[in-house]
Amino acid sequence: MKSIVLGGGCFWGVEAYFKQLKGVVETSVGYVDGNKRNPTYQEVCGGVASHTEACQIFYDENIIKLENVLEQFFRIIDPFVRNRQGHDIGRQYRSGIYFDYEEDENKIVEYIKNHFGKDYDRVQTEVKKNVDYDLAEPYHQDYLKKNPGGYCHVDLNLAKKEEIK
């Protein structure tokens, strides 16, 4: 099993999307790439903490490869905007890929270069080592499952299990 942390705007939608994919074993939402450990949601939203909202994904690489995870991620975000996804605006909504394994860094960068081609230089999605992922408060975990009518900038219908090979 492998893991990766993805920041793609509001973490509720990113988590709900990835939970639908075959090969994704476990998810959680939290905060990454910030100025302190264990921030609160209020600190992140208020700018006291400089984190991005993110989703940690554990996946079975025998079922879904890193490249497939990245393909799905770029399906649900706009990589060309900074500090914004959908109607969510602010530093905590920046997009980022925070890898857990050194060997994944080059694979991620190469994927982005190949996927975006001549638009690579416009990509605002950060690629960094995950060094400080902290879980969000319990009420944020599986939020859209607990609150089916909750706000979500992600089109959850885009998850197409049959496209994962």
pTM of the model: 0.94
Cα angle value 159/68/96 (rounded, 5°): 90
Alpha helices in the chain (DSSP H): 11-19, 41-46, 66-76, 102-116, 143-146
Q: What is the CATH number of the domain that holds 68?
A: 3.30.1060.10
| Distance, CA of 82 to CA of 140 (rounded, Å) | 24
Domain that holds residue 128: 2-163
Q: Which residues sit opposite 5 in a β-bridge?
A: 56, 98
Total domains, the chain: 1
10 is catalytic: yes
Give the pLDDT of the chain (165 residues) as one tens digit per residue: 999 999 999 999 999 999 999 999 999 999 999 999 999 999 999 999 999 999 999 999 999 999 999 999 999 999 999 999 999 999 999 999 999 999 999 999 999 999 999 999 999 999 999 999 999 999 999 999 999 888 888 989 888 654 544
